[in-house]
Amino acid sequence: MWSYCKECQVCQQHKPSISKLAGHMQSTPVVEPGHMLGIDLMGPFPKSSKLNEHLLVVVNYCSKWVELFPLRVAKAPQIARILIEEIFTRWGTPMYLVSDRGTQFTSQLLSLVCKQWSVIQKLTTAAHPQTNLTERVNRTLKTMISSYVQDHHRHWDRWLAEFRFAINTAWQESTGFTPAEVTLGRKLKGPLERAINRPPDPDSPAYPVLERQKELIRTVQRNVERAQAKQRRYYDLRRRSAHYQIGDLVWVRTHPLSRASDGFMAKLAVKWKGPARIVKCLGPVNCSVAFIDDPDRVDTFHVQNLKPFHGTFDNVTK
């Protein structure tokens, strides 16, 4: 009786999972500023007076430096132009470029640009955008924008330069420095700092700029490692280990959206689709799966969006 209930496919598809989410935190190692960049799109926003509707956000994984670019159209050509003219030729080419699986970032044009500039694209897994650091920056930006525009939502792009300056001059708990210090080797002074500026201490030791910057990066690495260890400790309290092997059958979590016009309600839809077969393990928390009913369809998922399929292969093929 227990086996029969456990292997019921209807129950496996519809019952929610009440256990801890699978997959422990995987921290991104800090190498140097510009080694890895995150990129993401925000919007669409209400069309502004400058006809902008989207915001391209670029974040440096090491220094947390942020660049913001309002866009009228969020398509691959515009993004490729900004990467070449404003990022690669201004700050240098990164080793990795992290983005979600939006059509703009998976386009042939952006892939070609990355190959031409020797940049390796890294795409986040489906329905798990936490990998991209820009998601955290986006949350901060939404708060800043909403605080200023209030009811005038078409003014969302009016203070982007000030928002960028505020983020890049704010002290970061994970690095122990401001993004400007790590990126430029100095603090950026605003009106307040100029007003209360103090002369430098004559007794302070003077170091060569290059040596000072190298020591700064080493300090940032140590601070980030400590911060990541702290974050991982609290994150993993709410997580469990999940291990899959090639050939395992799994269910894949669905993320349906309600459509009242079609008489469809997300809360009543199946919570798991499949079954699917693990075809490749990409690391501790990511797996490539192929769906049984469509073997040519292969996608990558975080283990929190997978759960074991209970039953036999004969039941699947029926």
Dump pLDDT digits (tens) for 208-240: 555 665 665 677 667 777 777 887 787 777 777
Q: What integer pLDDT is reported at residue 84 of this predicted model?
A: 95
* Residue 26 covered by a domain: no
Average pLDDT over residues 65-87: 94
* Residue 180 covered by a domain: yes
Spatial distance between the Cα atoms of 52 and 70, rounded to a whole number of angstroms: 6
Same domain, 258 and 135: no
Residue 313: is its pLDDT beyond 90? no
Same domain, 118 and 231: yes
Sorted by sequence, the CB contacts under 8 Å of residue 314 that are 6+ apart come out as none
Same domain, 215 and 253: no
Domain that holds residue 257: 1-19+243-315
Residue 78: is its pLDDT beyond 70? yes
Q: What integer pLDDT is reported at residue 140 of this predicted model?
A: 83
Same domain, 11 and 124: no
Same domain, 72 and 106: yes
Q: Beta strand 36-42 with 96-99: parallel, antiparallel or unpaired?
A: parallel
Spatial distance between the Cα atoms of 170 and 178, rounded to a whole number of angstroms: 5
The full 3-state SS of the chain, as one line of letters, equals CHHHHHCCHHHHHHCCCCCCEECCCCCCCCCCCCCEEEEEEECCCCCCCCCCCEEEEEEECCCCCEEEEEECCCCHHHHHHHHHHHHHHHHCCCCEEEECCCCCCCCHHHHHHHHHCCCEEEECCECCHHHCCHHHHHHHHHHHHHHHHCCCHHHCCCCHHHHHHHHHCCCCCCCCCCHHHHHHCCCCCCHHHHHCCCCCCCCCCCCCHHHHHHHHHHHHHHHHHHHHHHHHHHHHCCEECCCCCCCCEEEEECCCCCEHHHCECHHHCCCEEEEEEEEEECCCCEEEEEECCEEEEEEEEEHHHEEECCCCHHHHHC
Residue 67: is its pLDDT beyond 90? yes
Same domain, 129 and 253: no
Q: What integer pLDDT is reported at residue 100 of this predicted model?
A: 87
Same domain, 185 and 295: no
Spatial distance between the Cα atoms of 60 and 93, rounded to a whole number of angstroms: 12
* Residue 110 covered by a domain: yes
Per-chain mean pLDDT for the chain: 81
Same domain, 3 and 84: no
**Separation of first and last alpha carbons in the chain:** 21
Same domain, 51 and 178: yes
Spatial distance between the Cα atoms of 71 and 165, rounded to a whole number of angstroms: 19
Q: Which of 186, 216, 235 is the last residue of a domain?
A: 235
79, 106, 109, 123 from 103: Cα distances, Å: 12, 5, 11, 11
Task: Identify the bridge partners of residue 123 per DSSP, sorted by sequence position.
Answer: 99
User: Which CATH number goes with the domain that contains 264?
Assistant: 2.30.30.140
Read off the pLDDT band of 60 (50, 70, 90): very high
User: Which CATH number goes with the domain that contains 56?
Assistant: 3.30.420.10
Average pLDDT over residues 234-247: 81
Residue 118 class from Cβ within 10 Å (0-12 exposed, 13-18 middle, 19+ buried)? exposed
Same domain, 165 and 296: no
Q: pLDDT for 154-181, tens place per residue?
A: 999 988 988 898 889 888 877 888 899 8
Average pLDDT over residues 49-66: 92
Same domain, 137 and 117: yes
* Residue 309 covered by a domain: yes
Contact between 287 and 244 under an 8 Å Cβ cutoff? The reply is yes
Same domain, 214 and 253: no
Q: What integer pLDDT is reported at residue 318 of this predicted model?
A: 46
* Residue 30 covered by a domain: no
Q: Could you tell me which of 17, 11, 1, 89 has the C-alpha nearest to residue 303?
A: 17
Number of domains in the chain: 2
**What is the pTM (predicted TM-score) of this model?**
0.63
As given in the structure block, the two tokens for residue 110 are 């952006």
